[in-house]
Structure 1
């Protein structure tokens, strides 16, 4: 991971710097293996449709992410054939959400 890839991680993140590449890799893996669709609901909100089989992994990952970046709000719901995960941030952290959306798009289309 380059410094540019880590540049969007906000200063308020309490995850130790050495662990950040591992966390980002976990998100990349979730996107590559379980993300079916991404929607931008608003500048401060995303919706991911995930494979329901990834629910435990997604809940674990987002729970840990919320503990180091408390500004994230992750909300899970079930649709007919997918797990819906809404991701919200305050306006001050739209750049973080933008970067996360870009990373998800790169993995879903890969």
Structure 2
């Protein structure tokens, strides 16, 4: 699955495949559900082992450094009792296509993962 990196991204070209691999690893191991709230807002439900929140916060902080148009909000869901997080991702309207591609990528993994709900 291809992913077009916008010109606004300042991550060096050589590092982009590594970042994409990190996102894919997170999507493969933790995505449970992807919901498109609007063209500029996607909500991703994640669940995983201890340390998932720290991993998500680290990855989203690094992604914001190079792609400042992303806004990430990580919310632990303690009522779920299983390390579930909600990751809200928002972008300005001119980056809606980038968000759609990210949601599609995460959703494809969630659909393909047997324990995804």
TM above 0.5, yes or no, is yes
Aligned pair 1:74/2:61, yes or no? Answer: no
Aligned pair 1:5/2:7, yes or no? Answer: no
Q: Who is 2:87 aligned against?
A: 85
Residue ranges of structure 1 left out of the alignment (5+ in a row): none
Q: Who is 2:11 aligned against?
A: 15
Runs of 4+ in 1 over 6 A off after TM superposition: none
RMSD: 1.3
1:29-63 deviation digits (Å, cap 9, x = unpaired): 10110111111111100001111531111111100
Q: Who is 1:51 aligned against?
A: 47
Rounded to whole Å, the distance in 2 between the matches of 1:35 and 1:5 is: 19
* Pairs aligned (count): 106
Aligned pair 1:108/2:104, yes or no? Answer: no
Rounded to whole Å, the distance in 2 between the matches of 1:99 and 1:64 is: 19
For residue 20 of structure 2, give the secondary structure of its aligned residue in structure 1.
helix
